[in-house]
Amino acid sequence: MTALIVVERPENWPLDVPGTEVVTASDYLTNARFVELKRAKVFNLCRSYGYQSAGYYVSLLAAARGHKPLPSVMTMQDLRQASLVRIASETTEELIQQTLARVKSDRYVLSVYFGRNMAKRYDRLCRALFNHFPAPLLRAEFVRAGQWRLEKLYAIASHEIPESHREFVVEQARRFFRRPQRPDVQRARYDLAILVNPDEIDAPSDEKAIRRFIRAARKVGFDAWVIGKEDFGRIAEFDALFLRETTSVDHYTYRFARRAEAEGLVVIDDPESIVRCTNKVYQAELFELNDIGCPKTLVIDRECAEEVAAKLGLPCVLKKPDSSFSAGVVKADTAAELAAHLHQFLEESELVIAQEFAKSDFDWRVGVIDGKALYVCRYHMARGHWQIQKATSESGRLYGKTETLAVKDAPKAVVNLAVRASNLIGNGLYGVDIKEVDGRLLVMEVNDNPSIEAGTEDAILKDDLYLTIMQSIYDRLERRGQEHQ
């Protein structure tokens, strides 16, 4: 993808960054070459982003042309909304207090240059503000009335940079635009971001699988980049986002998905799938309404907590409404255990999911993408445990064995039920868990962000599994491009 640095006076920006081109705002706005340019990233460094200014029109026209502007029109609008600035202040409150604790005055002005400040001690706060409002040059004004709060946040023009800061700003611009060069790889048609947390204990993909995803992405026509939590402000630079980190609505993974979708990226997992898959109350209702076989399920609040044992019997299973995989799920074998678990769960949540206990030696896991089964596994219970995973310590896990089958060799009824259940959620990438109990197939849940680890889920398809997923994302981009045309 072509990278353009758009400025009004190039002589004020002595930038020399491989892979980028510095052009004037006038040229970008009027030259037919840029009208015909199909794909480009536009780093807008104009003097002003005010309404009807050159900077305003650069980002507006870039969005209309299908280019990727920074800042985007959305960011420009967000900066004008005081309510959103207040939200940014609230979500970064602890960081603000920590960062400004040593400031003596009751007012402080912080310059944010590409997410950095000349004083390194302010970098974390600068990065947080940039992630909320991705704009190259920002100024934040803080006031202290007992505690510090963010009073104003606004984009500044290049001529507002103090002369003593200019060399630093130019260096930060070079750092921001610079990416590792890959001379052995041709420039790809699209850029794909893969969100990964290398420190996550129960990550959905191991390091080897991530490497295979990257290799597959390049084969189908992506330049793939592994990104992390700190890259939130750069989402608009990419064409697609692939989440390989356990998702939750109350988590930055959901904010990444929301931001990416708002910026026009193709996203897996999309925000709606995250909401639907992490909400067990919704799934319980969905399965019942659509006659999907599942364990007998109750939605419990404090008023009806005493009815669980009578209606479901013991043992039974309790789930937090937003649980994922084995986390936030417990089994109650006795009335005393049930009362204790219910008390604990209802202290944390207004609702609890209670299900009859469905005993089985293994769970079927069917991976589905685009409404079609991709892989099938048997996840056996961990030794001496009722789930496929047993936590032995904060970071230790014990797993049951896994068997992977070709889709054609798996029971047709299992595959069909999994596809039917996942289609109620969407057309993304899902993992459907099914138990077989006394000849009945029961859908336990549909998960977004399913586990795909090297040597396990890919045991049959091998590289084709990764290629299929990457091809799906690529095809979605191609269809979107055709729709725009």
Residue 439 has pLDDT above 70, yes or no: yes
Let me know whether 65 and 91 are in one domain.
no
Could you give the angle at the alpha carbon of 382 between the alpha carbons of 313 and 310, nearest 5°?
Answer: 5
Residue 160 has pLDDT above 90, yes or no: no
What is the per-residue pLDDT for 327? 60
Let me know whether 247 and 206 are in one domain.
yes
How far is the C-alpha of 122 from the C-alpha of 291, rounded, in Å? 55
- CB–CB of 180/212 below 8 Å? no
How far is the C-alpha of 361 from the C-alpha of 354, rounded, in Å? 21
| Residue 81 located in a structural domain | yes
Question: pLDDT over 70 for what percent of the chain?
Answer: 95
What is the per-residue pLDDT for 357? 93
Among the candidates 20, 45, 70, a domain finishes at: 70
Each as own residue / partner, the long-range contacts of residues 258-263 (CB below 8 Å, 24 or more positions apart, any chain) are 259/232, 259/235, 260/193, 260/235, 262/74, 263/68, 263/72, 263/74, 263/235, 263/236
| Helix axes 82-91 and 123-132, enclosed angle (nearest 10) | 140
How many residues would you count in the chain?
485
- CB–CB of 39/67 below 8 Å? yes
Question: Residue 184 — pLDDT band, cuts 50, 70, 90?
Answer: very low
What is the per-residue pLDDT for 9? 84
For residue 182, the Cα-to-chain-centroid distance in whole angstroms is: 26
| Residue 303 located in a structural domain | yes
| Residue 480 located in a structural domain | yes
In this structure, what are the phi and psi dihedrals at residue 291, rounded to the nearest 5 degrees?
55, 40
* Total count of domains within the chain: 4
| Residue 118 located in a structural domain | yes
How far is the C-alpha of 185 from the C-alpha of 328, rounded, in Å? 44
DSSP 293: -
Let me know whether 171 and 214 are in one domain.
no
Residue 247 has pLDDT above 90, yes or no: yes
Let me know whether 85 and 171 are in one domain.
yes
Let me know whether 149 and 215 are in one domain.
no
Q: Which residues pair with 355 in a beta bridge?
A: 297, 317
Let me know whether 165 and 196 are in one domain.
no
Strand duo 372-380 + 362-369: pairing: antiparallel
Instruction: Determine the average pLDDT of the residues in 463-480.
Output: 96
**Domain span including residue 258:** 190-269+471-484
Strands (E), 81-221: 107-113, 137-145, 147-155, 190-195
Residue 481 has pLDDT above 70, yes or no: no
Higher pLDDT, 166 or 328: 166
pTM given for the model: 0.77
Residue 214 has pLDDT above 80, yes or no: yes
Let me know whether 81 and 173 are in one domain.
yes
Let me know whether 82 and 64 are in one domain.
no
Let me know whether 19 and 97 are in one domain.
no
Query: In the predicted model, what is the mean pLDDT of the chain?
Result: 89
Question: Residue 374 — pLDDT band, cuts 50, 70, 90?
Answer: very high
Span 39-84, pLDDT tens digits: 788 989 888 777 778 888 898 898 888 888 888 888 887 887 777 7
Let me know whether 172 and 82 are in one domain.
yes
Which amino acid is located at 484 in the chain?
Answer: H
**Which CATH number covers residue 306?**
3.30.1490.20
Span 406-420, pLDDT tens digits: 999 999 999 999 999
**Of 45, 11, 4, 23, nearest in space to 158 by CA:** 45
| Residue 114 located in a structural domain | yes
What is the per-residue pLDDT for 188? 74
Question: Residue 141 — pLDDT band, cuts 50, 70, 90?
Answer: very high
CA atoms in the 13 A half-sphere facing the CB of 99: 24
What is the per-residue pLDDT for 168? 92
What is the per-residue pLDDT for 185? 46
Higher pLDDT, 475 or 174: 475
Q: Which range, of 76-90, 226-240, 286-300, 452-466, averages the lowest pLDDT?
A: 76-90
Among the candidates 54, 70, 86, a domain finishes at: 70
Handedness of CA 25, 29, 30, 35 (dihedral sign): positive
| Residue 411 located in a structural domain | no
Instruction: Determine the average pLDDT of the residues in 269-293.
Output: 91
| Residue 253 located in a structural domain | yes
Among the candidates 41, 70, 99, a domain finishes at: 70
Residue 183 has pLDDT above 70, yes or no: no
| Residue 234 located in a structural domain | yes
